Amino acid sequence: MQETLIKKAQQYIANTYTRFPIVVTKGEGCWLWDLDGRRYLDFLAGIAVCSLGHANPNVRDGIIAQANKLFHVSNLFYTEPQVKAAEILVEHSFGDKVFFCNSGAEANEAAIKLARRYSWKKYGEGRHEIIVMENSFHGRTLATVSATGQPKFQEGFAPLLEGFICVPFNRIDLVAERLSGKTCAVMIELIQAEGGVYPAKKEYVKKLRDITAGKDILLIIDEVQTGIGRTGKFFAYEHYDIEPDIISLAKALGSGLPVGAIIGKEHVMEAFVPGTHASTFGGSPIGAAAITATLNTLIDEKIIERCEETGKYLRKGLLSLKKRYPFIVDVRGMGLIWGVELSIDGDELVKEFLKEGIIVNCVKGKVLRLVPPLIVKKEEIDIFIDIANRIFERKKS
């Protein structure tokens, strides 16, 4: 049955993903089931999307309740679900206003446009450049792929959008060198997830904030993968004792529904007025209901606080593996986003994990990325560590 469906998918669906050879039919908590009834422990969570696990009942009920009333009405009208979602995001962040969209790429696109328009309104033409980081990833639209600091994602799409200045990550001296009268913003991930799970250094981020604030250059933080509790705080920037001007969100924001957002300070968000930017489906009633249910569940059930604790437990297990296996080069991350850097082929290990009933993925060829649901239990972490130990033992011999 699975083979038949996979062949049909290959026949009818564009080949833009290297897919696992399984057909997923059901999810519950941290577990997935395929068409043949086999169960898998999910340490990928839809690529950091399903932070409340699969089919969370609170989110499900919120979506169903809203679907029984209103699917879509357009942003020419106000809706209660959208206002509720925006209110929660503002109450738990540095920001004052929210713009809703449908994905992380759209959120980053909006942030880029907002930064340029803010600068244009205040300073006029020519102040449009954005400093971005090598090894970053911001999306796959033409603007966000131009902002991405990895040439492999840009191949075949030239000419790229001009105005992005790429500098090495965690090097404040090189950022300072490239700032000029043309610079309107600096855009950064606090953990380069697609780039191999590299966290930003705290002193670097604090100096970056000081430099940009002193020159009225906006600081955009891409929180698409790190936001909504993933790092053990509501937003990753909270670990760094700074406030950005704009953050972008998606992934875990709606527990699997296609939603995205940017949050910004009021004087920055004022650069957007009717006609300057929009999103047909952004903040739709059902999407907004999913956002509200997701955020309320995280808050009411204190899941983010538990994430910090279970993240430490996972780190301890990963470091124990590193001590045993010399091909584990590094373990890095925070909360429940971890990278295990290897000196051997990571893609082959992903296949071995899948055979053992564990879903992980590999970035940069040799870094296993672990982003389990934030509700993961210590017993489930133990299952992962035991299986990883078994797989690594085979590689050792």
Count Cβ atoms below 10 Å from residue 280 Cβ, excluding itself. Answer: 10
Q: What is the pLDDT of residues 119-133, one digit of tens each?
A: 999 999 999 999 999
87 and 127 belong to one structural domain: yes
- Is residue 41 within 8 Å of 47, Cβ to Cβ? no
Q: What's the CATH code of the domain at 99?
A: 3.40.640.10
- Is residue 208 within 8 Å of 175, Cβ to Cβ? yes
**pLDDT at residue 396 tops 80:** no
Q: What is the pLDDT of residues 265-284, one digit of tens each?
A: 999 999 999 999 999 999 99
**pLDDT at residue 397 tops 90:** no
Mean pLDDT across 218-246: 98
- pLDDT band with cut points at 50, 70 and 90 for residue 107: very high
Q: Which of 99, 91, 30, 122 is nearest to 299 (CA)?
A: 91
103 and 180 belong to one structural domain: yes
**pLDDT at residue 88 tops 80:** yes
Q: What pLDDT score does 1 carry?
A: 81
Distances from the Cα of 45 to the Cα of 41, 234, 252, 389, angstroms: 10, 18, 9, 21
Residue 347: inside a domain: no
Number of domains in the chain: 2
Q: Which of 300, 317, 349 is the last residue of a domain?
A: 300
127 and 258 belong to one structural domain: yes
Partners of 339 in beta bridges:
332, 369
384 and 269 belong to one structural domain: no
In whole angstroms, what is the distance from residue 108 CA to residue 141 CA? 9
- pLDDT band with cut points at 50, 70 and 90 for residue 395: confident
- pLDDT band with cut points at 50, 70 and 90 for residue 10: very high
106 and 223 belong to one structural domain: yes
195 and 128 belong to one structural domain: yes
Which residue in this structure is represented by tokens 């969100």? 249
82 and 213 belong to one structural domain: yes
Residue 288: inside a domain: yes
Tokens matching residue 291: 């956002």
- Is residue 89 within 8 Å of 254, Cβ to Cβ? no
84 and 21 belong to one structural domain: no
In whole angstroms, what is the distance from residue 378 CA to residue 376 CA? 7
Q: Which of 300, 320, 344 is the last residue of a domain?
A: 300
Q: Which of 21, 17, 14 is nearest to 350 (CA)?
A: 21
In whole angstroms, what is the distance from residue 339 CA to residue 367 CA? 6
The contacts of residue 21 (CB under 8 Å, 6+ apart) are: 2, 6
In whole angstroms, what is the distance from residue 253 CA to residue 240 CA? 21
Range(s) of the domain holding residue 371: 2-55+307-330+362-396
Residue 126: inside a domain: yes
Q: What is the pLDDT of residues 222-235, one digit of tens each?
A: 999 999 999 999 99
- pLDDT band with cut points at 50, 70 and 90 for residue 2: confident
111 and 231 belong to one structural domain: yes
Q: What's the CATH code of the domain at 27?
A: 3.90.1150.10
Strands 358-359 and 39-42 come out as parallel
Residue 161 burial (C-beta neighbours within 10 Å; 0-12, 13-18, 19+): middle
31 and 130 belong to one structural domain: no
49 and 65 belong to one structural domain: no
Residue 342: inside a domain: no
72 and 46 belong to one structural domain: no
Residue 349: inside a domain: no
Mean pLDDT across 302-311: 94
- Mean pLDDT, the chain, integer: 97
